[in-house]
Amino acid sequence: MRHFFPARPNLRLFLLFVTILEAPGCCYSQQLELPVDRKGLEKLGEKTAYESGVTNYLDSAQLQAVVRGGIKEGLQVDFSHVKQLTNGTKIDPAKIYGSIQAGPYPFEGRETGFKYRRYRLESSIVGGKAVLDVGALLNPAQNSERWTDSGRLGIFFTIFLEDKGKDRFLGSYTTLVAFKKKDELYLRVPGLVGGPFINRVSSDAPGQVTISFISEEKVKGKVIISGGKDGQRIFEGDEPRLEHDLLLTGLEADSSYQYKVQVGDFTTVGAKFRTAPARGAGEVRFAYLGDTRSGYGGRLSRHMGVNSTTLERLCSIAYARGAQFLTVGGDLVSGYTAVPGDFSLQLHAWKQAALGFWSERPVYAAMGNHEALLRVFKDGSEYGVEVDRWPYATESAEAAFARWFVHPQNGPEVSDPRRPTYKENVYSFQYGCVKSIVFNNNYWTSNQSKLYGGSPEGYLLDDQLRWIAAELESAEADPTILYVFLIAQEPVFPNGGHLKDSMWYFGDNNVRAGVFSQGKLVPEKEGIVEVRNRFATMVSRHRKVAAVLGADEHAYHRLLVTREVPVGVIEKDDKDKSGKIDLDKKETCSPLPGLKFSTWYLVSGGGGAPYYAEEDAPWNSYWTSKAEPAERARGFYYSSQENLLIIEASDKKVSVEVYNLHGELIDRVDDLLGSAGRR
């Protein structure tokens, strides 16, 4: 979780150095050839940010400079510094208009565990300027927080640009601002613009927690905790910085602590966290959801690339139902941008929307296909050729994801050092008796892997498959682990909205990754259907696997894959040897040989993205064609409602309940292992 603000001078020099080295014609660039056909792509011509489009027209530095202090009437709102948008368009900031709201954050923070905003002030933005009368919040009738002369505000504004013919919508934005009244003036106080977030709470190191946050100015951040046998303790950063990841050590396992974050003169409202239990100890309850990118419904449903309304509400349900941690199956944001600042601001918005849960309990996320930071090239098609952005070490989607999240760093090493990293987008962790394995089937993205290299949506390269296998073997041998969940975005067996891709592609095994090496594009040996079947077979051979959790399809569905369920086997079902199991040509799907145990595949992609309805697939048709309703429901269920899963594990069983956005129960499986015959 780093780089919300412009890069520091030393990092800028490093990025400049890397850019020079990778420039066309540079000797270093020729020595370290990219694993995609760079020359072929550059012949097409790269799209500009204006041509490829953006979600957020302001960048983080512009956003944070909008609200200013220094006048008697309140805080100034001033867009005079916004003279160029992230897509490169130059504008007159005096033509910006709209509205801005503000209110205490966290609202009634002394009473609430789940922190949230509540707006109380509003002002019109005219000619790129406005004033927020924050003094009103110090008046007794509106002073819910008992502030004396200072406070922290949640800010929300919607802006438009006057333009010839038709005004342009520039988006809605949120941020956090601290203020203080000094004499008669209202001043901005350097505080936090992100966080605090609780991270890396696991039984792998139950005496540790990492708290991350972003400050407005370079300071030595402090975390003040109380609780446990040592009473109050202070953890301080080693040097002044903007991005802070403070490791708290020497804590007691399975214990509750109070904490505050201090940066300069600013201190957050108190919150709490709980350390993880020892390996194998205690009962575990966690939540899972996915696909929280922009949806429909207006205002915060399509906000900075996030459906903030649905995400915050689902997080509140997870919090209220006692989830100890939250796992997220990707497509957090709308993504698909060629502008790093736009991508970063989308992830920042996602973290703000999840902050109510995250300020007390950890979040673990997987990468989705929408977590795409790209270079886009012109081939005459609607979207162009989209490939993972290079330099990979600093500008790839994987690198950006690692900067914005604080995840375990125990993922595999890449077998080809030219490719992007797996660090913090592929990882595992244990909490009590549950092990979670987060993998990435949206790695090193390319929508034209056959022509230029890269990896298609849903594909898993051999190095990652081998790592997953090793993690499963390790879990089987560990007596403290009773249940294993595998988490990734693309459904292994899609059922609504994504049969055309995911890990199926309508049975087209010709889809596969490609690596450009020594002037040639070399396709991977296994196609997408073979990779899927290899994964499914591997999972079936490990008894402790409770379920494979996916997302991408904006719904909820569960599917039980048994030895009898037809899923498609290339060697047997590709009758015309075209490399595809073509159901339109009356080719059929066979069950997968070699399965040992039946396996649950659960998808929760109802986090706010536009919904998908159920579609026919060979595997779900096997169950829906059953004569008895109970038998149909035993192996397959589908709902298009927004949803999240609550998973509970004890030494007796592991169960799952599925809730909609209003807390109603959609589905329940009482015993995942037992119902799959894994006991």
Q: pLDDT tens digits, residue range 424-453?
A: 999 999 999 999 999 999 999 999 999 999
- Residue 519: the pLDDT is 94
Q: What is the mean pLDDT of the chain?
A: 94
Percent of residues in the chain assigned helix, strand, coil, to nearest 5: 20, 30, 45
Contact between 465 and 538 (Cβ < 8 Å): yes
Amino acid of residue 510:
N
Task: Return the structure tokens found at 66.
Answer: 């909008």
Q: Of 156, 151, 149, which Cα lies nearest the Cα of 185? A: 149
Alpha helices in 598-647 (DSSP H): 618-624, 629-635
- pLDDT value at 208 more than 70: yes
| pLDDT tens-place string over residues 182-199 | 999 999 999 999 999 999
Average of pLDDT values for 496-509? Answer: 98
The residues spanned by each domain of the chain are 65-190, 194-274, 284-675
* Ranges assigned E (strand) in 220-358: 222-226, 233-236, 241-248, 256-263, 266-267, 271-274, 284-289, 325-328
* Superfamily for domain range 194-274: Immunoglobulins (2.60.40.10)
Q: What is the pLDDT of residues 267-313, one digit of tens each?
A: 999 999 999 999 999 999 999 999 999 999 988 999 999 999 999 99
Structure confidence at residue 32 (pLDDT): 64
What single DSSP character describes residue 124?
E
pLDDT at 101 over 50: yes
Given a cut of 70, is residue 7 above it in pLDDT?
no
Which parts of 45-199 fold into alpha helices (H)?
A: 49-52, 60-64
How many helical (H) and strand (E) elements, i.e. helices and strands, does the chain have?
17, 33
How confident is the model at residue 25, as a pLDDT?
36
> Is the pLDDT at 12 greater than 70, yes or no?
no
- Tens digit of each residue's pLDDT (9 = 90 or more) over 28-50: 333 468 999 999 999 999 999 99
Rg for the chain (alpha carbons), in Å? 25
The structural architecture, per CATH, of the domain 284-675 is 4-Layer Sandwich (3.60)
Q: What is the pLDDT of residues 617-631, one digit of tens each?
A: 999 999 999 999 999
pTM of the shown model: 0.94
Please tell me the distance from the alpha carbon of residue 440 to that of residue 459, in angstroms, as a whole number: 9
